[in-house]
Amino acid sequence: MTEAETKEIQQQIEAHSAKLDGVREVIGKVVVGQEQLVERLLLAMLCNGHVLLEGVPGVAKTLTASSLARAIHAEFSRIQFTPDLLPGDLTGTLVYDPRDHSFSAEKGPVFANLLLADEINRAPAKVQSALLEAMQEKQVTLGKETFPLPNPFLVLATQNPIEQEGTYTLPEAQVDRFMFKLKVGYPGMDEEFAVVQRMAKTEAPAEVEPVLTLPELMEMRETLERVFIDEKVERYIVRLVDATRNPEKYGLDITRYVRFGASPRASIYLSLVARGQAFMKGRTYVVPQDVKDVAYDILRHRLAISYRAEAESITSDDLIERILATVPVIGE
């Protein structure tokens, strides 16, 4: 890559970063705190991945998702998952017309740029399978006809970690298709004070003004492809993922805590999202710290911990911390 090309990419990234700063700013007028959540949602949108949000009710998960959709001028759809939900309630169905004895497709709420799947673990397996096709193939089949989903298409799925009655465990195949698993915690006292002052009113909250268009987002994705990642960083990513499967090779005494390690999709996402992280920081190249910054959110739902780990109150985040501290950036 020539110096002129590098300079051109740098200018494009700086312009795009300014646009993303504008998105953060308008969302911040409605959502107090949750900067990390907003950052990761923007990163997922940039890298074309889906997000699983885990957090107790009332921590602004839905508000953040809907605010993001408005800020980027995207079509937003929300569906509350319940045990009696049918696949057709999500994807749509064929409607019979008695006048000409024909069927026409009635598209469901999945046909949106940003779909909020609220309490996804309350849906039965058939509904989760229908969503799985939409997430992976970016298309929906109704009868004999296949319909492409809008581009971009992002699923934000939420689940409540506290209440487990009437829930269905998400299959590992579906969990693995989420780029991120984000843990959304309680706000700090100062942030909650600001929430009370802003939201404890009878009038409607402030509206989010669109500051980014979908064509601009697609242009950002094209620019992202030009962010450089060195082969040494890619090999570091592969070693990190391999350490989740063969920890003893790296001197890690965690084998008894791991049922199985991360899939190759983890390596793909770490490489892609590390470039996205560099992009959002205004750089044209990836450094190892970019990989470390996103490793928890990409690996925590792909590292299956054993019953022994649960008994000893060891989480997947604890194991990832050990892996990051042990695996060398420069391979031997």
- Tens of pLDDT, residue by residue over 259-293, are 999 999 999 999 999 999 999 998 999 999 999 99
Helix (H) or strand (E) holding 266: helix 264-280
Do 61 and 79 belong to one domain?
yes
Which residue would you say has higher pLDDT here, 272 or 185?
272
Res. 224 pLDDT band, cuts 50 70 90: very high
Whether residue 332 has pLDDT greater than 60: no
pLDDT at 165: 65
Comparing 21-30, 164-173, 175-184, 187-196, the range with the smallest average pLDDT is 164-173
- Give the C-alpha distances (Å, rounded to integers) separating 299 from 6, 104, 241: 31, 42, 8
Nearest by Cα to 71 from 22, 119, 18: 22
Comparing 73-87, 151-165, 224-238, 259-273, the range with the smallest average pLDDT is 151-165
Whether residue 79 has pLDDT greater than 70: yes
Q: How many domains does the chain have?
A: 2
Domain CATH number, residue 287? 1.10.8.80
Place of tokens 């590292």: 303
Nearest by Cα to 155 from 133, 127, 178: 178
pLDDT at 232: 94
Do 209 and 268 belong to one domain?
no
pLDDT at 324: 95
Which residue would you say has higher pLDDT here, 167 or 13?
13
In a domain, 81, yes or no: yes
Do 157 and 284 belong to one domain?
no
Which span out of 34-38, 102-106, 152-156 was modeled with the highest average pLDDT? 152-156
Which residue would you say has higher pLDDT here, 17 or 275?
275
Res. 166 pLDDT band, cuts 50 70 90: low
Strands (E) in the chain, as ranges, are 50-55, 76-80, 92-97, 102-107, 114-118, 139-142, 145-148, 154-159, 178-184, 258-260, 304-305
CB atoms within 10 A of CB 45: 26
What is the Cα–Cα distance from 328 to 332, expressed in whole angstroms?
Answer: 8
Res. 124 pLDDT band, cuts 50 70 90: confident
pLDDT at 179: 93
Do 103 and 7 belong to one domain?
yes
What is the Cα–Cα distance from 159 to 275, expressed in whole angstroms?
Answer: 28
What is the Cα–Cα distance from 241 to 110, expressed in whole angstroms?
Answer: 32
Instruction: Provide the residue type at 78 as one letter.
Output: R
DSSP assignments along 17-36, one per residue? HHHHHHHHHHHHTTS-S-HH
Do 41 and 155 belong to one domain?
yes
Do 156 and 260 belong to one domain?
no
- The 3-state DSSP composition of the chain as helix, strand, coil percent (nearest 5) reads 50, 15, 35
Rounded average pLDDT over 306-322:
92
Place of tokens 């839905």: 62
Contact 212, 22 (CB under 8 A): yes
